[in-house]
Structure 1
Amino acid sequence: MTGTRAYGYTDTLDAEHYARALRADIRGGLTSTPKSTAPTWFYDARGSELFEEITQLPEYPLWRAELGLLQLHAEDVAAQTGARSMIELGSGSSTKSKLVIEALGPAGLHYVPVDVSADALQQAGAQLVQDYPGIRLHALRADFTAPLVLPALPEEGPRLIAFLGSTLGNFRRPARGPFLRGLRDVMRPEDFLLLGADLVKPEHEMIAAYDDAQGVTAEFDKNLLHVLNHELDADFDPDAFDHVSVWNSTESLIEMRLRSRAEQLVKIRELDLAVQFERGEEWITERSAKFTVSGLREEMAEAGLRTRQLWSDPNAGFMLTLATAH
């Protein structure tokens, strides 16, 4: 971050974090069977623009459903928690969390947005301190999938950890337990977790949400190839791949995939790597788990989290869960 800031900022990631993580994931993912990489790399400037478009698509109700639930129940969250500190994981633009901030009362509220993007933290932080002059904001640039080390926060009063957007769905089942236990470990008995989760719906609806009629999601998926061409001096041809969306019923998740249209050899010069694709071979670029109410409650209980309140939108198939440590 540059310029004058009216708030605290801690950066736990070195300058090479992104490049090092990208190289490791792409090398490991494209030399495995099946090929599979993290969704992190979609989000250059163009990828972020495309995702904003996706959130407004009629086939993709997730973002709007969560926003609607927060509009209806942010006051309930505030009443039940009484939180005076709020930590948001994967905060991004902090658009939806503003509803919770306003319900909690921004004057004197300690707000810690956590994100890997310095630009997102800078832009959101500047806007928040302008909108809420009394807020006490400390931005934390960190990878929240690693053990969370928070900046100093007041000991008095409950804390609220917010993890919205059904981002938990980016973790496969074996990884979700350790992640949730990690959150539980930083929570005190009086603290709360607010979790957004996308629910299982009819298969055709879930597939359409990740393969819309306008082709925006397909462009978003293929944008990964442009990112790799730019960042790793690769020679992917986006026209040589088709975007597909598949429901994996065994793991209860949607998979976005890039399907090779022909046999091809792709060179990734920064990795000194040549990757062979067979015709019809599919590369998993994102996994997004979908939950059931009972299943998520069980996962949280196994991690030491007690569900205190559920709010759901049955039409859009989305829920918010408020939980405490036990």
Structure 2
Amino acid sequence: MRFGEEHQELRTAVRSLLARHEGAAAWGPLTRQIGAAGLAVPEEHGGAGCGPVEVHVVMEELGRALAPVPYLGSAVLATQALLAAGDTGLLPALAEGRTTGALAWAENGSWRPEAVRARAVCGADGWRVTGVKDHVLDGADADVLLVAARTETGLALFHVPSGAAGVEREAHTTMDLTRPQATLRFDGTEARAVGADGDRVLAHVRDLACTALAAEQVGAAERCLELTVAHVRDRVQFGRPIGSFQAVKHRLADAFVRVESARSAALGASWAAADGSPDLSRYAAVAKSACSEAFSAVAGDMIQLHGGIGITWEHDAHRYFKRAHGSAQLFGSPAGHRDRIAEVVVGPRGAGAERPA
């Protein structure tokens, strides 16, 4: 698994752009100059026709910068949901960055398709959706709302028009201020069906979401390690840099192993997604679990090895720490994804096979 020259050029371009445009201001240049929003959209629908490996590169760089842009929610979740559902009419605007999308999916803190309880009923005037969705990425401001809801025949995906009556959006102040989330409430809201096989669509989107998020976690963890190494080289105590002490060297060596192990897991998932591997769910679960725990550990080391400054607002350490713990729970906890791996290896609960502790 190696990146090609074009991947390195993409990485350089994204990193350079994020250095020039900080915060949310980076979204416009990312979409106009690099075409990031449409990277994984087929060319016939206005995109670049790339795939999960290119998305991996972008997500790593966004993670390094903790860029508060709607890439994960719009360019990954919403776009991949539409592609998986086979509804392409909304893709050109999303690919150009003229609109942003949000997938209203999780309920009661769960991203499992079977946890969806929102209902959709088809009447004389079309579909109407009722239910509550939480942890909707960029849900307060997204132009395109895609909602997972149950019908009489099963789980389906619906497009709720922007400004439709019966939609209440509640933005939340999250621990990680760089990743906006919202609760969305629908009360008999007008909707259009965009895909009937909701279980398949959401399962596939979850795998791609975990794969992309794992890449972001690797990029952020790598940046934590870089900042920590730079600090221990410069910070002097007892007449010598603290990085020269054996205990600090051991901590940094362990952190390096965690980052590189996480990188391998994330790359494995990205290449499995690019190859259309039937084992993508297993690779994605491994990547999400391993990368979540690695990022949390390295961010914690960053706080401790920086000492007092690591817990101040003046230093970025707390921002990485908050992103680490927020992203660890996004799309399911590390333990939850290990349960998914166990289901693949030994079978689901109740199947008669013993589950590992």
More contact order relative to length (CA 8 Å, sep ≥ 6): 1
- Same fold at TM > 0.5: no
* TM-score in terms of structure 1 length: 0.28
Higher helix share: 2
Higher strand share: 1
* TM-score in terms of structure 2 length: 0.26
